[in-house]
């Protein structure tokens, strides 16, 4: 039986319409989001260990919902874990200049800056300049010149909050076990005013904030009045812009009863 020219034309048209749909489906299924990688090293004073220290890129996956009682949630950023040499690897879709946070239970929280390469490339930085906001073990020098995390000291906690996780802020406070999580009584401020080396005139040698650079979006507080929690954990949370909503720390050491917690030495 012969096929008419008209039928042949119609069949060809149908095939031409169908092929792009099929191809489109195949292309869609094969889409791969390009990533970059950063390989870097964190050091600690000998003979302490770097094994298990977390390195997170700030703001790369946290929940910035400001009205959620216990958000943003921890461990949602791009992260890598340090090995025995302190080396870590982070694979990320975020590029450009980024903050990296280092967290381990034996050390003050530290942060530094890394330059993530364009998609598909890997950059190796032998060391990340870290800043815990606290004086070095002996001299009041900038801690990021040490290229290392600083071991915790007795009765002290370093608190950090990054605007990249929450948006532009006018104020940040920490509440916790020390004031029964009361936003209206005993909340303690964090600072982004560059006052790292300011000393409390009422208590010789006590730093007020530990904040090194004014206006960089890294809010800091060094709390050296936690002797009643020594050898234990302290539960805490952040309040932003005085809204009295208690939020988790995205880079918390521990979680205790759905609250962020930090080990006090």
Give me the residue spans of the domains in the chain: 36-264
The answer to whether residue 256 scores a pLDDT higher than 80 is: yes
User: Best-predicted range by mean pLDDT among 110-114, 122-126, 180-184?
Assistant: 180-184
Give 156-210 pLDDT, tens digit per residue: 999 999 998 888 899 999 999 999 999 999 999 999 988 876 766 676 666 668 8
The answer to whether residue 224 scores a pLDDT higher than 50 is: yes
Q: Are 44 and 151 in contact (CB under 8 A)?
A: yes
Using CA atoms, how far apart are residues 241 and 54, in angstroms rounded to an integer? 28
The answer to whether residue 17 scores a pLDDT higher than 60 is: no
The answer to whether residue 65 scores a pLDDT higher than 50 is: no
Class of residue 133 by CB neighbours under 10 A (exposed 0-12, middle 13-18, buried 19+): buried
**What would the mean pLDDT of 12-28 be, rounded to a whole number?**
39
**What would the mean pLDDT of 132-147 be, rounded to a whole number?**
46
Confirm whether pTM is higher than 0.85: no
The answer to whether residue 217 scores a pLDDT higher than 70 is: yes
At the top level of CATH, the class of 36-264 is mainly beta
Q: Of 132, 128, 151, 138, which is closest to residue 48 (Cα–Cα)? A: 151
The answer to whether residue 216 scores a pLDDT higher than 80 is: yes
- How much is the mean pLDDT over the chain? 78
Q: Of 228, 222, 220, which is closest to residue 179 (Cα–Cα)? A: 228
pLDDT at 196: 76
Length of the chain: 265
Using CA atoms, how far apart are residues 77 and 90, in angstroms rounded to an integer? 10
Residue 93 CA: distances (Å) to CA of 101, 126, 163: 17, 21, 20
Which of the pair, 177 or 33, is modelled with greater confidence? 177
Q: Of 132, 134, 111, which is closest to residue 40 (Cα–Cα)? A: 111
User: Best-predicted range by mean pLDDT among 3-12, 142-151, 182-191?
Assistant: 182-191
The answer to whether residue 231 scores a pLDDT higher than 70 is: yes
């Amino acid at each position: 039986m012969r096929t008419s020219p008209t039928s042949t034309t119609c069949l060809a048209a149908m095939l031409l319409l169908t092929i792009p749909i099929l191809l489109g489906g195949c292309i869609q299924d094969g889409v791969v989001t390009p990533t970059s990688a950063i390989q870097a090293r964190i050091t600690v004073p000998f003979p302490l260990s770097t094994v298990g220290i977390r390195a997170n890129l700030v703001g790369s996956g946290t929940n910035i919902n400001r009205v959620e009682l216990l958000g943003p949630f921890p461990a949602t950023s791009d992260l890598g874990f340090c090995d025995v040499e302190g080396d870590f690897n982070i694979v990320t879709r975020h590029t450009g200049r980024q903050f990296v946070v280092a967290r381990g239970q034996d050390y003050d929280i530290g942060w530094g800056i890394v330059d993530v390469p364009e998609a598909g490339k890997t950059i190796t930085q032998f060391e990340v300049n870290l800043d815990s906001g606290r004086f070095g073990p002996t001299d009041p020098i900038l801690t990021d010149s040490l290229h290392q995390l600083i071991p915790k000291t007795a009765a002290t906690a370093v608190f950090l909050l990054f605007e990249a996780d929450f948006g532009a802020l006018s104020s940040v406070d920490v509440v916790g076990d020390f004031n029964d999580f009361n936003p209206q009584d005993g909340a303690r401020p964090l600072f982004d005013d560059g006052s790292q080396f300011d000393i409390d005139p009422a208590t010789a040698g006590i730093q007020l904030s530990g904040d090194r650079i004014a206006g960089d979006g890294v809010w800091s507080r060094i709390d050296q009045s936690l002797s009643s929690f020594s050898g234990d954990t302290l539960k805490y949370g952040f309040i932003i812009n005085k809204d009295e909503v208690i939020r988790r720390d995205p880079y918390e050491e521990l979680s205790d009863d759905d609250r962020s917690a930090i080990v006090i030495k």
